[in-house]
């Protein structure tokens, strides 16, 4: 079993309301992280596994001899509120990189990214990796948020994607309504055989996307955000039902077999959302 390691806070700032970007100094092996993988984070000297919180890796980069990892997160409860008060030089314990990341879209012409809120984090990492390794495909991003004030991660996607389309629930920016509705209008632009779709966001959003795509053979992977306690497959707290899972009669652990799954393999109607 991998041990938790210490990571020093290099910087932290609020990007948009209640959303924070924390930069951690991490060991060099984090450079092997794949888009869609995550880390478990807990306060230093905390030995209680149930007080760890999972976060997608937003980015990993090197500067000189140092390696840095970024996490983009929204304050929703006690753990994230505590993290938001960390300052440069504070130390956290982290475990990772964990889980199965996205399959890189090696042969396709269009890469479509659909994000709900802070679900942009793993998709942004994927977009960065695609920009570096797969320069022939066009990248299109659909981003949804509650309101313009809560729209997070747009600057980075603007710099990478050829098109960024926005929706907000309150209509304060872009399309007024769910991001899946915005994507649904354009869906026919993406041919099944030369497009790859990737999505991350709240489960109801992923369920709507599943409804939209269920009769199409287009490749679509989603990253699920189940609640997690251990992050390493031991507690079974993150189990979801899949249609095609061959372990445990269709029950799979999001932290171990996921968090990335083929959208058609997830049983959205029964367990998720």
Ligand X SMILES: Cc1cc2nc3c(=O)[nH]c(=O)nc-3n(C[C@H](O)[C@H](O)[C@H](O)COP(=O)(O)OP(=O)(O)OC[C@H]3O[C@@H](n4cnc5c(N)ncnc54)[C@H](O)[C@@H]3O)c2cc1C
What is the DSSP secondary structure assignment for residue 271, as one 8-state letter?
Answer: T
Write out the H or E segment, with its range, that includes residue 93.
strand 91-98
| 98 near ligand FES, rule: CB under 6 A | no
Distance of CA 196 to CAs 70, 211, 257, Å? 25, 17, 21
| 73 near ligand X, rule: CB under 6 A | yes
> Using CB atoms, what's the residue nearest to ligand X?
77
Query: CA triplet 23, 27, 29: central angle to 5 degrees?
Result: 115
How many CB atoms neighbour CB 63 within 10 A? 9
Which one, 30 or 38, has the nearer CB to ligand X? 38
| Contact range with ligand X by CB under 6 A, out of 71-79, 87-95, 169-177, 190-198 | 71-79
Min dist. Cβ of residue 30 to ligand X (A): 15
Q: Which parts of 207-246 interact with ligand X (CB under 6 A)?
A: 225-228
Q: Identify how many contiguous H helices and E strands the chain contains and give both numbers.
A: 5, 16
Given candidates 177, 237, 250, 273, which one binds ligand FES under the rule CB under 6 A? Answer: 237
Min dist. Cβ of residue 70 to ligand FES (A): 23
Nearest C-alpha neighbor of 236 from the set 224, 248, 222: 248
Torsion-angle region of residue 241: left (phi > 0), alpha (psi -120 to 50) or beta? beta
Q: x/- string (CB under 6 A) for ligand X, residues 97-136?
A: ---------------------x--x---------------
What is the DSSP secondary structure assignment for residue 46, as one 8-state letter?
Answer: -
Min dist. Cβ of residue 198 to ligand FES (A): 22
Q: Which parts of 30-49 interact with ligand X (CB under 6 A)?
A: 38
Min dist. Cβ of residue 203 to ligand X (A): 8
Q: Measured between alpha carbons, how far is 206 from 268 in angstroms, rounded to an integer?
A: 8
Which one, 195 or 203, has the nearer CB to ligand X? 203
Give the binding site for ligand FES (CB under 6 A): 228-231, 233-238, 253, 255
């Amino acid at each position: 079993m991998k041990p938790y390691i210490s990571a020093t806070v290099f910087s932290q700032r609020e990007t948009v309301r209640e959303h924070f970007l924390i930069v951690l100094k991490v060991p060099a092996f984090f450079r092997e992280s794949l888009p869609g993988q995550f880390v478990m984070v807990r306060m230093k000297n905390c030995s209680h596994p149930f007080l760890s919180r999972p976060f997608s890796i937003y980015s990993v980069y090197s500067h000189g001899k140092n390696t840095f990892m970024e996490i983009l997160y929204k304050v929703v409860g006690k753990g994230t509120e505590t993290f938001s008060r960390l300052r440069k030089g504070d130390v956290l314990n982290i475990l990772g990189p964990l889980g199965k990341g996205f399959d890189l879209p090696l042969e396709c012409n269009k890469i479509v990214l659909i994000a709900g809120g802070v679900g942009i984090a793993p998709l942004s990492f994927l977009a960065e990796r695609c920009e570096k390794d797969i320069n022939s495909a066009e990248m299109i991003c659909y981003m949804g948020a509650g309101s313009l004030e809560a729209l997070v991660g747009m600057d980075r996607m603007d710099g990478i994607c050829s098109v960024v389309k926005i929706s907000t629930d309150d209509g304060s920016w872009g399309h007024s309504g769910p991001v899946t509705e915005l994507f649904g209008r354009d869906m026919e632009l993406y041919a099944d055989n030369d497009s790859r779709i990737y999505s991350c966001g709240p489960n109801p959003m992923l369920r709507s996307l599943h409804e939209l795509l269920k009769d199409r053979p287009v490749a679509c992977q989603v990253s699920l955000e189940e609640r997690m306690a251990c992050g390493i497959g031991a507690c079974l707290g993150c189990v979801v039902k899949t249609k095609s899972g061959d372990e445990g009669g269709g029950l799979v652990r999001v932290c171990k077999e996921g968090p990335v799954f083929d959208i058609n393999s997830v049983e959205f109607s029964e367990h998720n959302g």
